Structure 1
Amino acid sequence: MTFIGEAPYEGKEFATFEEAYNYYNSYAKKWALESARKQPISQEIISQVFVCNKAGRKRLSDKRECGKLVNRRPDTRVDCPARMKIKLTSSKTWIVTKFEGEHPTHLLSSPDKVWNHYSHRQRHRSKTCKRIIQNLSEEGMAPSTTARVYNVVSKSFHDEYITAQQCIDHIRTIRKNNIGNECISIIKNFQDRKEIDLEFYFSIELDQSGTMRSVFWADGRSRSSYLSFGDVVVFDVTYKTNYLSLTFAPFTGVNHHRQSILFGCALLADEQEDTFIWLFTQWLKCMHGVAPKTIITDQDAQTGGAIKQVFPNTTHHFCSWHIGRHIAEQQLPMKAQYGDEISTYFDKWYRASTIHPCEERWKILKKKFNIDENVDSWLTRMYRLRAH
């Protein structure tokens, strides 16, 4: 704990409650709200006590009183008597009625750690700091690169310490507020579209607080095209949007002219199985309950689990482009483990056009390089998923 300026004393007067709080906070560099007495009619605070965060003691829970073992954090409160009490006067100013400045029950914090106390983590709440964090985020520094945001912001303020978690929390707040604002614009736009296109369909998933998580939409042309060309559907979630950090997921197909056609689009909050289940359910409802005969996706377990639940009779295949990318990523690890010769045998197995040669070449590959099917590896997983 550090002490700044003149110590409080009984009779010292402040113009506002905030002035009294800021003064004591600057003086003690540690405070907690202990009690407030209010008038019964107006509910206006007429007295306040600011105390050390080690004042009082933690109350035992009912479980511990019953003799049960309870895992809890170590007690930090040690009945510290340090406090400043203020009272509202008839002239609407605040006056110190009691002050105790000694901390006899514990050691004081060192200057380099005092910034960790809640009441001194104030800089990140300033408009200037919030504006810097927001500008950096809008320039492309998403929550995944918060360490870079934190480094820039910390160097901008030398007088007070700013933590990385504070930057993360503010970026998340910005994102949540932006999604809330965008949700209103999206609904308005979709309502306008529905007036022009009576077959336009959209659905929005909300979280517990009412904020938009995911959104799905499809116009009348997409719904009509699906009924004619929806035997095979490609679902891809490799697209990203930087502004709201939502995954863009289109449903596509091919028409009789071998042209790509769109069957619907979605913006997803995450790529978890529950989110995919919600999306596939909405898409199936949009397409009059007609499930595709075949769906092609990336090799993703979350997507696969959702497809099994929503489209149990649909054949699920992996996209050859994604498989080729995964193979390219695994070339060096395979050569490091099995030698350079593995590439030739693997390529012959991978390019088998029918089931029988595929199974025969796997036996040769397994025997040649002593591959154990019971050991989980990329190769054995590829074999187990060969039906896709």
Structure 2
Amino acid sequence: MDLEVQSPVEAFETNLIDRIDSEGLLVINSGSDVEKEANDIRGKVFDTPNDAYDFYNHYAFLLGFGLRIHTAYKNKTTNEHYRRMYVCYKEGFKILKCKSSVGDVKKRRRDLRTGCNACLRISKRKDGKWFVDVFNDSHNHELTISPTKVLKHRSHGKFHRSLACKSLMVELGQSGLKPCQIKKVINVMKSPHENNVTSKQCSDVLSDQRKQYKEIFSGLIGDQENRI
């Protein structure tokens, strides 16, 4: 009989059901359980950096925090990535820049960062695989225990990346709507359980679409010139 082997991400999704109690709150592991999970994560191997990100993002969802991509290290000679760092969304502190002419500090949103040190770092092996060589699960802030609130973290809001959402953005863009108008239309049409899309996300999708059209158009022109 064939046994179905779960991927790391699927395993976390399966465990998610067991980690939510009757009140819809995440059940936080005890200290010994967390330490065991940390030991299991160190040395874990992934095929691509995206696989590692998805795995850590699922782990972050279970514990109640969001992620940011902190650093991507490149080889100066080959220009290839050899190391990446993913951090808690509360890592570091925002740098407040002053206006050069007046010297006043710019008005900014309330800084939610606390200098949290939680992170996961992956490095590339000689065989092309990526493995976790640094993992820190120590947070200096309270974790979100409500799944509905956890979904509000940027790293867990994936609706704007879905094919259906991108297709709608492109269609509305081709009809002449601006990103700020597209945002309003999609946020009215989407499910209330999904995060709102932003103007920046709409603008990025339209920009990618224009780049694809340019590449296709350039390719067609090149083919015609070669035939001539």
Residue identity matched to 1:26: H
Q: What residue number does 2:194 align with?
A: 161
- Normalising by structure 2, what TM-score? 0.58
Between the aligned partners of 1:55 and 1:167, the Cα distance in structure 2 is 23
CA-CA distance at 1:58 after TM superposition:
2.1
Q: What residue number does 1:120 align with?
A: 156
* 1:10 aligned residue (32, 42, 48): 42
Q: What residue number does 2:97 align with?
A: 61
Asked if the contact 2:160–2:201 (Cα under 8 Å) also holds between the matched residues in 1, the reply is no
Q: What residue number does 1:150 align with?
A: 187
Between the aligned partners of 1:90 and 1:171, the Cα distance in structure 2 is 34
Per the alignment, in what secondary structure is the counterpart of residue 116 of structure 1?
Answer: coil
Between the aligned partners of 1:168 and 1:88, the Cα distance in structure 2 is 30
CA RMSD of aligned residues (A): 3.9
* 2:206 aligned residue (148, 155, 173): 173
Q: What residue number does 1:344 align with?
A: none
Between the aligned partners of 1:146 and 1:80, the Cα distance in structure 2 is 32
Pairs within 5 Å for 1:31-110: 31-61=67-97, 68-108=104-144, 110=146
- Deviation string, structure 1 residues 160-207 (Cα, Å, up to 9, x no partner): 614154699269938x95xx99xx9xxxxxxxxxxxxxxxxxxxxxxx
Q: Percent identity?
A: 27
> Measured at CA, do residues 171 and 42 of structure 1 come closer, stay the same or move farther in structure 2, by a change above 3 Å?
closer
Structure 1's consecutive aligned runs of 4 or more residues displaced over 4 angstroms after TM superposition are 4-8, 66-70, 132-135, 140-149
Give 5+ residue unaligned stretches, structure 2: 1-11, 16-36, 218-228
Bigger Rg, which one: 1
Between the aligned partners of 1:78 and 1:93, the Cα distance in structure 2 is 33
Asked if the contact 1:133–1:171 (Cα under 8 Å) also holds between the matched residues in 2, the reply is no
What is the total number of aligned residue pairs between the two structures?
A: 170
Does 1 or 2 have the higher relative contact order (CA < 8 Å, sep 6+)?
2
Give 5+ residue unaligned stretches, structure 1: 185-388
CA-CA distance at 1:22 after TM superposition:
1.1
Q: What residue number does 1:21 align with?
A: 53
CA-CA distance at 1:149 after TM superposition:
4.2
Asked if the contact 1:82–1:103 (Cα under 8 Å) also holds between the matched residues in 2, the reply is yes
Between the aligned partners of 1:67 and 1:133, the Cα distance in structure 2 is 41
Between the aligned partners of 2:182 and 2:55, the Cα distance in structure 1 is 37
- Normalising by structure 1, what TM-score? 0.36
> Measured at CA, do residues 59 and 142 of structure 1 come closer, stay the same or move farther in structure 2, by a change above 3 Å?
closer
Between the aligned partners of 1:62 and 1:148, the Cα distance in structure 2 is 37
Pairs within 5 Å for 1:233-244: none
